A and B are shown apart, each in its own frame.
Chain A
Amino acid sequence: MKIVFEHLTKRFPNRNKKIHEDVIAVDDFDFTVPDGKLVGLLGPSGCGKSTALNLISGLLMPTSGKLYFGDDDVTKLPPEHRGVGLVFQSYALYPHLTVQKNIMFPLENLRGADRLTKAEMEERALAAAKLVQIEELMSRKPSELSGGQQQRVAIARALVKMPKVLLLDEPLSNLDARLRLQTREEIRRIQKQTKITTIFVTHDQEEAMSICDMIVVMKNGRIHQIGKPQEVYDTPSNLFVAKFLGTPPINVFHGTVKGGRLYLGDDAVLETKNVPDQDVYVGIRPEGFLPKEDGPMHCVHERTEVMGRDVSILASHPAALTDTIRAIIDAESRTATDCTTVNFALRPTKVHLFHKDTEERICF
């Protein structure tokens, strides 16, 4: 089931009554989520991700615009008739019901022709429980489960009614680091197995990048970029997207393009043909630095962090926006760590230029 957003907008009246301007939580969403894909809604907290999710579930009604599931207009449909599965950030498992009763709850709501017998319900609940591997916990109460187990029960409860759309609201934020890694693989597996169109809200870009077919990067209610995770990472449409994606984050510099060359301070670091002369922001991914003795970029070496798989060089450069910049290099190509200066050459594909005013990307 594909989901089509058509200029979907949600405004809230401002909490501060003196300000009459509305808060726009979701601003003119206009895109299509293809059938059977896992899509990540990604953005810093407070950017309207959860509002967008609640608009899809029907818990909130949009101010304007339309929403379609497949060809059906569901804009005005109340949540109980939309057939979506929603996993809440806090899981919202009913504390007085056992795991089995929790999972069966949506099935017991079915009326009329869809009504199932008790045996059928139990069978479906067990199948859903097996999918998330909690079948041996069926008789427990939610308070007797760990966070990860509760998470699985919540997913099973959302899946048991075979929803057209599965919505996950920050599903991993309450789990510890190791469990988070494991659970996100699990979500990916379940999504692949069930082929349900899934929208996944997160503020953690790594989470979104690792499992999503497509990510939607938002800020202040506006969509900044939509695309495959790698595409968005490689060709960020503006400075915000570039800064938001990637850990460690991208290094940003003040730069100048002059005569087909990019200058960082006094260093002419890169050939930039076809770019008119102007001041720019320069984003360089940590993996875009190549340590080279005669490299064009001269930095003051501060510290080297050895992290097993690779090595980070922390350095400073007068044109950088931050005090230190971080370069990640292979452990093998590591140079002497005791010198006071370090020179880099740059990989052109890891360097991005942005307009000084609009912060939009400049292609070169």
Chain B
Amino acid sequence: MEKKGFKAWLYLLPAFLFLGVFMIYPLIDVFIYSFEEGYNFASQTFLGVGTYNYSYVLHDPYFLQALKNTFILVVITVPLSTGLALLISVMLSSIKPLRELYQTVFFLPYVTNTLAVGLVFMILFKKTAYSEGMINLLLHLFGAPSVDFIDGPYWAKMFVLCFYTVWVVMPFKILILTSALASVNPVYYNAARVDGTSRFRIFYKITLPMISPMLFYLIITGFIGAFKAYNDAVALFGVNLNAAQMNTLVGYIYDMLYGNSGGYPSYASAAAILLFTVVLTITCINLLVSRKHVHY
């Protein structure tokens, strides 16, 4: 028995080692850095221990801007992308002809290179000396004044960021949801139809509960993914996100470490711990809510 236990631990050792070195240790380290004031990578020295880093970060207008941006992004894109993906998957699974074509079209953004996507968005939104961008041309058609979506007002930039995020995360959600819908045994639909159930009620009372585990998975990962957004903003607005008022929490952390204002690992760690706390809290709330509504 004892020997068996030893063997089991031996087999688990590689995983433990890697997790320990690359996950647990850095996590603890970040936690420690966040309480060490004025920590310096080069000299490995710090001035003192305390909560000053947190107080600095929480009073930093750039951090507050990043927090606000991230929250807006999360609150808009997660429900919107999941809802739209659900709608599209339901429609996809209720049509027969051309379904595969549509599925491919909807999945294309997932396999498209980020730079190519950036270029497309540039054509859509960027206002240059030579062109106004496609969306502005459309706006002109309706007699609206043109808007600079990339360097213009805050709401316009936020709109582009949300639009971009929704567009980028949808293919994966559609893929997951169409397969979840396909895995629902059609006998339930037949049973419901014979019992005179309306289409809406079938969807609400049967389809949704049946795919709820997958939906829940998408919501959780959607929240976490949106909180960790960074590269989308860079792709759209360049690396100087603070100047563009478009920074996100992860962007702020990166800037604190390596950006123009970089060299502040203590502040970065404090911000990282704050982000971790926020994500953890939201995920816990999600789990609590799911207990009532997710049927495994």
Residues of A within 8 A of B (CB): 57-59, 78-86, 88, 90, 92, 94-96, 105-106, 108-110, 157, 161
Flag if B187 contacts A88 (CB, 8 Å).
yes
Flag if B188 contacts A94 (CB, 8 Å).
yes
Give every chain B residue within 8 A of A85 (Cβ-Cβ). 194
Flag if A86 contacts B194 (CB, 8 Å).
yes
Interface of B is mostly: helix
Flag if B210 contacts A96 (CB, 8 Å).
yes
Flag if A84 contacts B295 (CB, 8 Å).
no
Q: Is the interface on chain B under 10, 10 to 19, 20 to 34, or 35 or more residues? A: 10 to 19
Give every chain B residue within 8 A of A109 (Cβ-Cβ). 195-198, 201
Known: A79-B190, A96-B210. 8 other contacts (CB 8 A): A57-B194, A79-B196, A92-B188, A94-B205, A96-B209, A96-B295, A108-B201, A161-B196
Give every chain B residue within 8 A of A57 (Cβ-Cβ). 194
Q: Please measure, in the bound complex, the distance between the C-alpha atom of A90 and the C-alpha atom of B197, giving whole angstroms.
A: 19
Give every chain A residue within 8 A of B185 (Cβ-Cβ). 90, 92
A171 to chain B, nearest CB (A): 14
Q: Can you pick out 25 interface pairs between chain A and chain B where the beta carbons lie within 8 Å of each other?
A: A59-B194, A79-B193, A80-B193, A80-B194, A80-B195, A82-B194, A83-B196, A84-B194, A85-B194, A86-B194, A90-B185, A90-B187, A94-B191, A95-B295, A96-B209, A96-B212, A96-B295, A105-B195, A105-B197, A106-B196, A109-B196, A109-B201, A110-B196, A161-B195, A161-B196
Query: Nearest 10 A-B pairs (CB), nearest first?
Result: A96-B295, A106-B195, A92-B191, A80-B196, A96-B209, A92-B187, A86-B194, A109-B196, A79-B194, A79-B193
> With contacts A105-B195, A106-B195, A109-B197 known, is A59 near B210, CB below 8 A?
no
Q: Report if B206 contacts A (CB, 8 A).
A: yes
Flag if B188 contacts A59 (CB, 8 Å).
no
Flag if A88 contacts B190 (CB, 8 Å).
yes
Residues of B within 8 A of A (CB): 185, 187-188, 190-198, 201, 205-206, 209-210, 212, 295
Max chain B Cβ within 10 angstroms of own Cβ: one of A59, A92, A95, A161: A92
Flag if B193 contacts A59 (CB, 8 Å).
yes
Q: Please measure, in the bound complex, the distance between the C-alpha atom of A333 and the C-alpha atom of B223, giving whole angstroms.
A: 82
Residue in chain B with minimal CB distance to A105 = B195
Q: Please measure, in the bound complex, the distance between the C-alpha atom of A106 and the C-alpha atom of B191, giving whole angstroms.
A: 10
Give every chain B residue within 8 A of A82 (Cβ-Cβ). 194
B163 to chain A, nearest CB (A): 35
Residue in chain B with minimal CB distance to A161 = B195
Flag if B195 contacts A92 (CB, 8 Å).
no
Residue in chain A with minimal CB distance to B193 = A79
Residue in chain A with minimal CB distance to B196 = A80
Give every chain B residue within 8 A of A108 (Cβ-Cβ). 201
A197 to chain B, nearest CB (A): 16
Residue in chain B with minimal CB distance to A80 = B196
B202 to chain A, nearest CB (A): 10
A282 to chain B, nearest CB (A): 45
Q: Please measure, in the bound complex, the distance between the C-alpha atom of A105 and the C-alpha atom of B202, giving whole angstroms.
A: 11
Residue in chain A with minimal CB distance to B195 = A106
Give every chain A residue within 8 A of B212 (Cβ-Cβ). 96
Q: Please measure, in the bound complex, the distance between the C-alpha atom of A157 and the C-alpha atom of B192, giving whole angstroms.
A: 11
A177 to chain B, nearest CB (A): 25
Flag if A59 contacts B196 (CB, 8 Å).
no
Residue in chain A with minimal CB distance to B293 = A96
Q: Please measure, in the bound complex, the distance between the C-alpha atom of A157 and the C-alpha atom of B191, giving whole angstroms.
A: 10
Q: Please measure, in the bound complex, the distance between the C-alpha atom of A157 and the C-alpha atom of B188, giving whole angstroms.
A: 13
A110 to chain B, nearest CB (A): 8
Give every chain B residue within 8 A of A81 (Cβ-Cβ). 196
Give every chain B residue within 8 A of A106 (Cβ-Cβ). 195-197
Q: Please measure, in the bound complex, the distance between the C-alpha atom of A106 and the C-alpha atom of B205, giving whole angstroms.
A: 12
Q: Please measure, in the bound complex, the distance between the C-alpha atom of A7 and the C-alpha atom of B191, giving whole angstroms.
A: 27
Flag if A58 contacts B209 (CB, 8 Å).
no
Q: Please measure, in the bound complex, the distance between the C-alpha atom of A157 and the C-alpha atom of B201, giving whole angstroms.
A: 17
Q: Please measure, in the bound complex, the distance between the C-alpha atom of A88 and the C-alpha atom of B186, giving whole angstroms.
A: 12
Q: Please measure, in the bound complex, the distance between the C-alpha atom of A78 and the C-alpha atom of B192, giving whole angstroms.
A: 12
Give every chain B residue within 8 A of A90 (Cβ-Cβ). 185, 187
B188 to chain A, nearest CB (A): 6
B39 to chain A, nearest CB (A): 52
Q: Please measure, in the bound complex, the distance between the C-alpha atom of A290 and the C-alpha atom of B191, giving whole angstroms.
A: 51
Q: Please measure, in the bound complex, the distance between the C-alpha atom of A88 and the C-alpha atom of B188, giving whole angstroms.
A: 10
Residue in chain B with minimal CB distance to A95 = B295
Give every chain B residue within 8 A of A92 (Cβ-Cβ). 185, 187-188, 190-191
Give every chain B residue within 8 A of A88 (Cβ-Cβ). 187, 190-191
A334 to chain B, nearest CB (A): 50
Q: Please measure, in the bound complex, the distance between the C-alpha atom of A157 and the C-alpha atom of B196, giving whole angstroms.
A: 13
Give every chain B residue within 8 A of A157 (Cβ-Cβ). 195
B159 to chain A, nearest CB (A): 38
B220 to chain A, nearest CB (A): 19
Residue in chain A with minimal CB distance to B188 = A92
Residue in chain B with minimal CB distance to A59 = B190
Max chain A Cβ within 10 angstroms of own Cβ: one of B194, B205, B295: B194
Residue in chain B with minimal CB distance to A54 = B190
Q: Please measure, in the bound complex, the distance between the C-alpha atom of A58 and the C-alpha atom of B191, giving whole angstroms.
A: 11
Give every chain A residue within 8 A of B295 (Cβ-Cβ). 95-96
Q: Please measure, in the bound complex, the distance between the C-alpha atom of A93 and the C-alpha atom of B193, giving whole angstroms.
A: 13
A196 to chain B, nearest CB (A): 15
Q: Please measure, in the bound complex, the distance between the C-alpha atom of A108 and the C-alpha atom of B206, giving whole angstroms.
A: 13
Give every chain A residue within 8 A of B196 (Cβ-Cβ). 79-81, 83, 106, 109-110, 161
Q: Please measure, in the bound complex, the distance between the C-alpha atom of A142 and the C-alpha atom of B185, giving whole angstroms.
A: 15
Max chain A Cβ within 10 angstroms of own Cβ: one of B185, B196, B295: B196
